[in-house]
């Protein structure tokens, strides 16, 4: 099998699994229990939690981490929790046109049920946020800006640092960065962001884990209410093994980031050069993010291509994994304003595990499907 859908899910690394088993085998106490075993678990939690803040160069006096079940839960907690805490200052929310469904669905829920004033920020032909449009639309009653650092279908990298700077002039405005496709893949400077969501299963951690980094002075209304836990923002018995393995995955991904990034660039360059030799293939990505390549095949719906490749044991994705199937890609529609191109678009996502031989076989198989060979 040739797996080219790493942006949907990344195989869990052996080191992460081994660490999970080690923690679950040797730490039995609830972190908030008062007995010796509970205190031992809490000591490990605090030690590991500090490692997470350290790898992102965030000060523990300013930031904290909330451990969730997914990036989707992190986005829900960030958006719903902030809206409920700050709606007295305003209900205006700004969002890019290319956000994940977990962001868009929450905003729709708040708009319909709580009269949130949700407004989209324009993007340019490269899928980049129009910062001038942001400056025009941000208001004194704007309480939140939602932005994906890397767009998940075509891979546009946003100028998130400029967004943070623009928001600084509006004291009631907060910035949520969805860094799900960015963490472990490109260098990040998160200082200044109010909230950052991501999930380790995109870079070697376990499905069922998520993280929300938050400025300590930002108040959220919890989604889950209950008893005492390691965070006041999410009640439950802290899953120490999952938390520690998530931090281990993050450490590993960031420590090898430069090496993995260079390999991804080489692989993307080879892939693009080969695909461009076929006039029926259109490159939709702007190529600045080497892990994601979005293409369209003229005259072939994306679902047809994806299914035929799957029959040949090659896995690619029609849009992002959480998107609705059989609809045009919203991202490609927004960039090219071409419904057919959007319906014909699909995503190839690679990693440092991808080989040139795998890409060569993918290209040959794709050409065979296109030209009926």
Residues taking part in catalysis: 322
Give CA–CA dist 26/231, Å, rounded.
23
Two tokens, residue 51: 């490692």
3-state secondary structure of 136: helix
If you count them, how many residues does the chain have? Answer: 373
Of 262, 273, 293, 315, nearest to 155 by C-alpha is 293
Phi, psi of 51 (to 5 degrees): -60, -40
Q: How many CB atoms lie within 10 A of CB 253?
A: 22
Of 116, 97, 193, nearest to 107 by C-alpha is 116
DSSP at 200: G
Q: List the alpha helices (DSSP H) in 96-226.
A: 101-114, 131-137, 160-167
Residue 354: exposure state from Cβ atoms within 10 A (0-12, 13-18, ≥19): buried
Cβ atoms of 35 and 231 closer than 8 Å:
no
- The single residue listed with the structure tokens 């014909």 is 344
Alpha carbon dihedral 284, 72, 328, 118, in 10-degree steps, equals -100
Task: Give all strands of the β-sheet with 210-215 in edge-to-edge order.
Answer: 63-68, 210-215, 195-198, 174-178, 142-148, 92-96, 117-121
Q: What is 40-76 written as a DSSP string?
A: HHHHHHHHHHHHHHHHTT--TTTEEEEEES-HHHHHH
The angle subtended at Cα 224 by Cα 222 and Cα 229, nearest 5°, is 90
Of 292, 286, 266, 261, nearest to 184 by C-alpha is 261
């Amino acid at each position: 099998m040739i797996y080219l859908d790493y942006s949907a899910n990344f195989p869990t690394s052996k080191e992460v699994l081994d660490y999970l088993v080690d923690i679950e085998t040797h730490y039995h106490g609830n972190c908030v229990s008062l007995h010796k075993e509970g205190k031992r678990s809490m000591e490990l939690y605090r030690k590991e939690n500090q490692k997470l803040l350290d790898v992102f160069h965030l000060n523990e006096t300013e930031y904290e981490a909330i451990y969730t079940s997914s990036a989707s839960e992190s986005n829900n907690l960030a958006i719903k929790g902030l809206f409920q805490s700050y709606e007295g200052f305003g209900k205006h929310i700004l969002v890019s046109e290319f956000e994940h469904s977990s962001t868009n669905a929450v905003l729709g829920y708040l708009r319909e049920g709580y009269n949130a004033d949700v407004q989209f920020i324009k993007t340019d032909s490269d899928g980049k946020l129009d910062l001038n449009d942001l400056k025009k639309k941000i208001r004194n009653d704007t309480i939140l800006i939602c932005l994906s650092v890397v767009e998940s279908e075509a891979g546009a990298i946003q100028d998130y640092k400029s967004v943070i700077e623009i928001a600084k002039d509006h004291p009631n405005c907060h910035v949520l960065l969805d860094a799900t496709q960015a963490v472990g893949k490109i260098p990040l400077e998160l200082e200044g962001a109010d909230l950052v969501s991501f999930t380790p299963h995109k870079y070697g951690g376990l499905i069922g884990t998520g993280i929300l980094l938050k400025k300590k002075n930002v108040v959220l209304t919890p989604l889950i209410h209950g008893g005492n836990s390691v965070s006041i923002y999410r009640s439950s018995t802290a899953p120490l093994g999952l938390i520690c393995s998530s931090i281990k995955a993050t450490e590993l991904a960031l420590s090898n980031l430069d090496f993995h990034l260079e390999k991804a660039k080489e692989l993307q360059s080879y892939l693009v050069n080969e695909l461009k030799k076929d006039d029926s293939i259109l490159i939709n990505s702007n190529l600045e993010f080497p892990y994601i390549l979005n293409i369209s095949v003229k005259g072939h719906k994306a679902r047809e291509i994806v299914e035929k490749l799957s029959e040949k044991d090659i896995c690619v994705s029609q849009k992002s994994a959480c998107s609705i199937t059989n609809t045009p890609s919203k991202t490609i529609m927004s960039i090219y304003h071409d419904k057919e191109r959007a319906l014909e678009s699909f995503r190839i996502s690679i990693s440092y595990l991808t080989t040139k031989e795998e890409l060569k076989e993918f290209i040959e198989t794709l050409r065979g499907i296109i030209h009926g060979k």
